[in-house]
Amino acid sequence: MLQACISNSEDQLRKVEKRRLLLRALAPMAGRKVIQGDVLKTELPYFDICVANIPYQICSPLTFKLLNHQPPFRAAIIMFQREFAMRLVAQPGDKLYCRLTVNTQLHARIFHLLKVRRNNFRPPPKVDSSVVRIEPRKPCIEVKQEEWDGFLRIGFNRKNKTLGSIFRQKNVITLLEKNYRTVQALKLSQEDLLNETDTKMDFSSFGDDQGMEMDDDDDEMEVEDGEADEVQSEFNDKVLGVLKEGDFEDKRSSKLSRQEFLYLLSLFNKAAYHFYNVFPLFKSILFL
């Protein structure tokens, strides 16, 4: 059906297909180029529009592969597992609002088009689906991948706790202090640090091998021993001072917009606090 809907297009059509059984059926399509291979491992050519009904286990990695594609495409119309799709379009305060939401909406506008019930398929799958439209933002918003993702991981570790509570945790303060001392020891200004490497986002690792893995514990991740330990120190007071400066101490990640996350990160960076080397804090990493 998908092929029939787009087969009359006068524009050049390219299709990536992994299954050998379908290659024969696709071969007679005049003026169409069929690329055999795994779409996650295939270098995609230039394209303007992407239309896809994909295996649900590759929802996350494919989404970020597309968002990382250069030059940016105009739009992608994709059918996802419904829960994944609703995470993409969630708004601050929604139950499904999470790191996935903020990461994707930072770089694209995403619209929910329609719900597709499981009984519309034969045989019916176990879950419902949804079709969404993804439009990359132009110009793109440039952030440092490692720091941005580390910042969000800390914020969404307990997304319904106040940021003041999160940034009193011993492991978080230890991480920030270590990064701060490293920057000072190397005598790098904030501008030097942010311009040291290419600012282009690379999403390729965000969804690798994660599939549609969902966390049932309200998007919370386990932290190494000492996660609940709160510390009182001069450095901790300075970190909390950043939160107070932006009026974030009593706010929760579950209710912050992407603009507020960007603003808060800029306040931390202004004070020379950075969010590198966050991954060792967590026993398990789920892309949510």
From first to last of its 288 residues, the chain has per-residue pLDDT tens of: 444 445 455 456 666 655 555 555 555 554 567 766 778 888 888 899 999 988 889 999 999 999 999 999 999 999 999 999 999 999 999 999 999 999 999 999 999 999 999 998 888 889 999 999 999 998 888 898 889 999 999 999 899 999 999 999 999 999 899 888 887 887 545 455 556 554 444 444 444 434 444 443 444 444 444 444 565 688 999 999 999 999 999 999 999 999 999 999 999 999 989 998 775 655 433 333
- CATH number, span 2-136: 3.40.50.150
Tokens of 165: 């509570």
Q: Residue 2: which residues within 8 A CB-CB, separation 6 or more? A: 51, 53
Report the alpha-carbon distance of residue 275 to residue 44 in Å, rounded: 32
Q: Is 216 annotated as a binding residue?
A: no
Number of neighbouring beta carbons within 10 Å of residue 122: 5
Q: Pull the structure tokens for residue 47.
A: 């394209």
- State the number of CA atoms in the 13 A half-sphere of 285 facing the CB: 15
Strand ranges in the chain using DSSP code E only, listed in sequence order: 13-17, 32-36, 49-53, 75-81, 108-116, 129-136
What are the domain boundaries of the chain? Answer: 2-136, 145-281
Query: 209 near 153, Cβ under 8 Å?
Result: no
> Is residue 192 marked as binding?
no
Contact 232, 167 (CB under 8 A): no
Is 53 annotated to bind a ligand? Reply is yes
What's the CATH fold of domain 145-281? Answer: Helicase, Ruva Protein; domain 3 (1.10.8)
CA distance from start to end of the chain: 32
237 is in an annotated binding site: no
